[in-house]
Amino acid sequence: VEKPKVEDAPSNLIISGRYILQPEVMRTLEGQEKGAGGEIQLTDAMARMIGEQPFHAVTFAGRRFDCGSKIGFVEATLALALERPDMADDIRQIARRLLD
């Protein structure tokens, strides 16, 4: 299900958009009709291929950022910069200056 509303989501799992795919998936995309949002969806092509080739997943435990929006990108950049000993103090000073 591509980006369902929270109340319609079939689970609390996500696909973070990092794939290693076989060429057959790309060939399936060539004939793929438009899906969610009026766009050709890679996940629809992958779903069509289930049973024809193996798919594997990795469970990730950690923080995840949505860099598909400007705010999410800024949040990720700040969070990662604050984890770096060589940047954290400077980033905090910049944030304080901007907030004053």
Assess whether 15 and 44 both reside in one domain.
yes
pLDDT score, position 99 = 95
The size of the chain, in residues, is 100
Give the integer Cα–Cα distance in Å for 62 and 44: 27
Instruction: Report the SS3 class of residue 45.
Output: helix
In-domain check, residue 10: yes
Give the count of domains, the chain: 2
pLDDT tens by residue, 47-90: 888 888 888 888 888 888 888 889 999 999 999 999 999 999 99
The structure's pTM equals 0.56
Assess whether 11 and 44 both reside in one domain.
yes
Range of 40's domain? 6-49
- For the chain, strand residue ranges (E) read none
